[in-house]
Amino acid sequence: MVDSISSQEERVECAICNRSFTRRGIRRHIQSAHPETQSTDGHDVVTTSSLPNNTSIPDYIQEKFVAGFGDRLLNTPGTSSVWEIRWWRSTRLNGKQYDLPQGAVGRQFTSLLAEEIQAVAEGSRYSEVIFLLCATVLQREKSVKAGADVRRMLCKRMEMW
């Protein structure tokens, strides 16, 4: 009885067809049932054309999303931008992220993040850029453990950004 409860808790819903699978089974399901969501380099990429169109959302909400984000709410056809693909790949990163250091490096990261948020608010950048910045710059490296090395690496990553 306990095994069946724990296995049900570890189930994941497919974002495309809303069926429920185990964590291992979802990958196999996507590869076989939704091959159009696979990229050539092995990373899963969801194409907006493969998602169902959500038309049950009131027009006034859709208008607010278009004004704020440049596209309609959830599951609508659109272009798959470079930033969207990079964001999708960053969600697949394994491991943890560094805590933001205090001091000059932390302030530099916060300033960089604020600039990206401002660019999104002005409409010149996609919202995925914000999440991608945090995921890639703060991604933990196994061999880097000392505080000074972490700060140096974060500075280098922010320069490359």
Task: Name the DSSP letter for residue 97.
Answer: B
| pLDDT of residue 149 exceeding 60 | yes
Do the domain assignments include residue 1? Answer: yes
127 shares a domain with 67: no
Same structural domain, 63 and 92: no
pLDDT for the residue numbered 71 = 67
Residue 42 within any structural domain of the chain = no
Domain co-membership, 14 together with 64: no
* Residues 86, 146 within the same domain: yes
- Give yes or no: residues 117 and 67 share one domain: no
Claim to verify: residue 57 and residue 121 sit in the same structural domain: no
Report the domain count for the chain. Answer: 3
Place of tokens 């027009």: 59
Q: What is the mean pLDDT of the chain?
A: 72
| Domain annotation covers residue 4 | yes
Q: CA-CA distance, 154 to 86, in Å (whole number)?
A: 19
* CA nearest to 111, candidates 79, 150, 155: 155
What pLDDT was estimated at residue 80?
60
For 48-64, the pLDDT digits (tens) are 444 444 456 677 877 88
Mark whether 130 and 100 lie in a shared domain.
yes
Question: Are residues 121 and 59 part of one domain?
Answer: no
For the chain, where are the alpha helices, taking DSSP H only?
Answer: 2-9, 23-33, 59-69, 82-90, 104-122, 128-137, 147-160
- Inside any domain, residue 128: yes
Res 44: pLDDT: 47
Identify the weakest region by mean pLDDT among 5-19, 43-57, 120-134, 143-157: 43-57
> What sign does the dihedral 52-57-62-63 (CA atoms) show?
positive
Based on the fold, state whether residues 63 and 93 are members of the same structural domain. Answer: no
List residues bridging with 38 in a β-sheet: 44
Position 136 pLDDT exceeds 60: yes
Whether residue 89 is found in the same domain as residue 154: yes
Q: pLDDT tens-digit profile of 5-60?
A: 544 557 777 777 777 877 777 777 777 776 666 544 444 444 444 444 445 667 78
pTM: 0.46
Length of the chain: 161
What is the Cα–Cα distance from 4 to 68, expressed in whole angstroms? Answer: 44
Please tell me which residue, 60 or 2, carries the higher pLDDT value.
60
Region label for 142, one of left (φ > 0), alpha (ψ between -120 and 50) or beta (otherwise)? alpha
The domain of 73 spans 47-79
